[in-house]
Chain A
Amino acid sequence: GDSVTQTEGPVTVSESESLIINCTYSATSIAYPNLFWYVRYPGEGLQLLLKVITAGQKGSSRGFEATYNKETTSFHLQKASVQESDSAVYYCALAVSSNTNKVVFGTGTRLQVLP
């Protein structure tokens, strides 16, 4: 079936260090799913961080980047220099069907950035 696997947390990094959170997907119901990163900051609901709907393209937001790699079925989240305010839970997700608008989420990766 359709699934998303991402880095198991928690991930702890120091401020100004680089970050990568791995995400790989399996999409059996659709050839080219839309890919997303959502983020949940403490005390808030989930919100979209970035999305890419075309294979080979890169999405970016708030200094984060992710490239849709169809060959490796990956959508890793990267940031060159994290800030303490980036501490949150990050979810990789894919939209499995353009007909139902159904979204499948990974298990989430908790990121803690130390000052």
Chain B
Amino acid sequence: RKEVEQDPGPFNVPEGATVAFNCTYSNSASQSFFWYRQDCRKEPKLLMSVYSSGNEDGRFTAQLNRASQYISLLIRDSKLSDSATYLCVVNIGGGGADGLTFGKGTHLIIQP
């Protein structure tokens, strides 16, 4: 089983719509969770950390469900500029010196 799984998409969504992605992780000891965004031929950039109680940043809301081992990202009022690949990222190691484990990403296309 892959460590971090995402639906690769693409998700084609009209501008202004709400879109949600899920991601599942395999290691129940995972402690830290993030959503990164990667534009075509660019580096990954942190979109937001994901906290146990859920958190919101403008049009973006992230949720964590530890019991089911999944993370979600909700984008409201989507903009053309939201078109990108969204990477679900998990610390599999459960703390301490470790790199991040990335999902393969969900490709989002916002259509005018």
Q: Do A and B come from one complex?
A: no
